[in-house]
Amino acid sequence: MDPAMFLDRFDGQSKLLVRALLCGSSGAHIALEVFHRQQRANPDMSLSNFIETLCQDEVCGPDRTGQPLTVGPLVWLFTALLKKNLLSFIHLVYLSLPCPPVLHLLKCLCQDPHRTPWMTAMIRQLERNLEVHNEEPLYTPHCGQRLKELSQRLIGSDETGGWAKCFSRQTSECERASGSSELGTQRKRKGSFLALDSDGEDTGQESKRIKVEVCGSESLDDEEKSATTELSGRLGNDAPAETPAEERTPAAAAAAESPSDVLPEHIKVSVLQIKELLESQTEWDQSSMEMFEVLNDCDPGQVELLCSMLRFPDLPEQTLPKLCSSILAPSFDFSYSTAATLIKSLLLQKILSLSEPASRCLVTAGTSLCSRYPRPVCHALIGPVLEEKTIGNPQAELLNRLVESCLDSHYRLLVLQMTFKMTWGEAVLSIIHSLLDSRLDLSEELFTQFTGQLVSQGPKFTKSVKFAKMMLTVLTKYNSHMTAEHKQSLHSCLMVNETFLKKSLQAALKRITNS
């Protein structure tokens, strides 16, 4: 069953735990961290609702065509990996849980027609921990027989030491369960082999570790691997499409590997919590805002990956003010790279896609970020927007608002210099005019560069009223910067002007000549 189909059965806190349990082989430990955070936020929280939902009856589809539908606990519909993580998580927290709900869950899992030998062993171990009378061995009879056969083969081989010592302990419980005197004899024989092999004890121990790891890795079934792959897709479904290795950026290469493997465990937990918060319709409180403190622990590459995993470019605009308020709290002081990544992810695509004036939420988010981080906004937002040839009045109006209300003269000069490196359009002219109206403190070198741009790009705007108005501002407000060379250059530019402002422009230039 697709995990997304049963998530809606759980409440908000329980849903976070299920998402954590989906996190591959480390799901149990991630769920433990989520549980501890929930307890810190609400010391009275309980897992009773979580366990009760797991034990609720659900309709289970047949394994094969032609079989009837059955009814069983919801936990039966989990994947093998999720059940394994669930039992591991319960084993980590059972001391803090009431006994009856846990026993009810274990009873449901005992009746699962698809339980694995590992599940059986863990269920029996938990029952022992809960002091439930259970004399059965932790392993199944089939597993005991396999151990017996394997130990017999190893006794006759040249490899003793570590393996023999390992299985002499494991088969002792099998002997008690089966009452086999033959196995007892074999254990004595293995003891003699151990005595002969005492000089190589360290080698044997290393061999045991290597072989157990190999055996464990080979025992992963296809279902567990597919579940891990599914989670990686869930967390990284906004990662860039696959590209040749030589063309990938470091962040893209990291995302292509697997976001859940690249990020540290505590960041993965925070990603799940922030996802849940962004998808919820509830009001944000102080604990909600504290979730974003994980950004302080991220380097720029991790921030870029986190923004992609959380789908920041696709967030609804009404979420932006709350989100910006959280990340602009006094406890945050981002580096230039981190701030630029966040600003680009949150605002760039939304501004480029505007076809009508920006919403109040988008304006609020833009002005708050621009006031706190003006330089990153200039380079990661204003510059890329200006470089787009398809922008129109909605983009120009929003950028003008940011420039006028949030940027001081230093950053306004920076934006003006950015326009020297791009092809001008009507929207760019509007922004340049707004900058000039604020009476920038232009150096002689900068004014010379600007007049050079007016002359080189002016022929495209012979009929543009916006360009003519901008020229009039230059001639009236910056006449003290004019030299003979500037006047000569601008005179040739005005000669080709075809707007109704041509005479006014020529008169303004003439007054400068006579001064």
Question: pLDDT tens, 137-186?
Answer: 766 677 777 777 887 777 655 444 554 554 455 555 445 544 444 444 44
Average pLDDT over residues 275-279: 84
pLDDT for the residue numbered 343: 94
196 falls in which pLDDT band (50, 70, 90)?
Answer: very low
pLDDT for the residue numbered 361: 93
pLDDT for the residue numbered 3: 55
360, 318 contact by CB (below 8 A) = no
Tell me the C-alpha distance between 14 and 45, whole Å.
Answer: 11
Average pLDDT over residues 323-343: 87
215, 239 contact by CB (below 8 A) = no
Q: How many residues does the chain have?
A: 515
CATH topology of domain 265-407: 1.25.40
Q: Give the number of C-alpha atoms closer than 13 A to the C-alpha of residue 309, restricted to the C-beta side.
A: 33
pLDDT at residue 467 greater than cutoff 60: yes
**Start-to-end CA span in the chain (Å):** 84
89, 31 contact by CB (below 8 A) = yes
pLDDT at residue 187 greater than cutoff 90: no
Question: Which three-class secondary structure string do you get for 52-72?
Answer: HHHCCEEEECCCCCCCCCEEE
pLDDT at residue 68 greater than cutoff 80: no
Q: Please give the share of the chain, as a percent, with pLDDT higher than 70.
A: 74
Residue 73 is classified by DSSP as E
The CA-atom distances, in angstroms, between 363 and each of 82, 264, 372, 406 are 43, 34, 14, 12
pLDDT for the residue numbered 234: 44
- Which two three-digit tokens encode residue 126? 């938990």
Tell me the C-alpha distance between 130 and 146, whole Å.
Answer: 29
- Which two three-digit tokens encode residue 222? 């296809």
* Angle, helix 426-437 to helix 409-419, in steps of 10 degrees: 150
CB atoms near residue 397 (< 10 Å)? 17
pLDDT for the residue numbered 65: 55
Contacts 24+ apart (CB under 8 A), 111-118: 111/72, 112/72, 112/73, 112/75, 112/76, 112/83, 113/76, 114/76, 114/80, 115/83, 116/80, 116/84, 117/142, 117/143, 118/84
> Residue 178, class by beta-carbon neighbours within 10 Å (0-12 exposed, 13-18 middle, 19+ buried)?
middle
465 falls in which pLDDT band (50, 70, 90)?
Answer: very high
Report the SS3 class of residue 425.
coil
Q: Please give the share of the chain, as a percent, with pLDDT higher than 90.
A: 19
Q: Which amino acid is at 26?
A: S
Average pLDDT over residues 389-416: 92
Average pLDDT over residues 252-266: 58
**Which residues is 29 bridged to in the sheet?**
none
407, 363 contact by CB (below 8 A) = no
| Bigger pLDDT: 469 vs 239 | 469
pLDDT for the residue numbered 244: 45
pLDDT for the residue numbered 489: 83
Average pLDDT over residues 326-341: 86
257 falls in which pLDDT band (50, 70, 90)?
Answer: very low
Average pLDDT over residues 428-446: 90
pLDDT digits (tens, 9 = 90+) for 86-140: 888 888 887 778 788 888 888 888 888 877 888 888 888 888 877 776 666 766 6
pLDDT digits (tens, 9 = 90+) for 4-63: 566 777 787 788 888 888 877 777 888 888 888 888 888 777 888 888 888 888 776 665
pLDDT averaged over the chain? 76
512, 474 contact by CB (below 8 A) = no
Pairing of strands 70-73, 57-60: antiparallel
Spans of all domains in the chain: 3-141, 265-407
Tell me the C-alpha distance between 101 and 85, whole Å.
Answer: 18
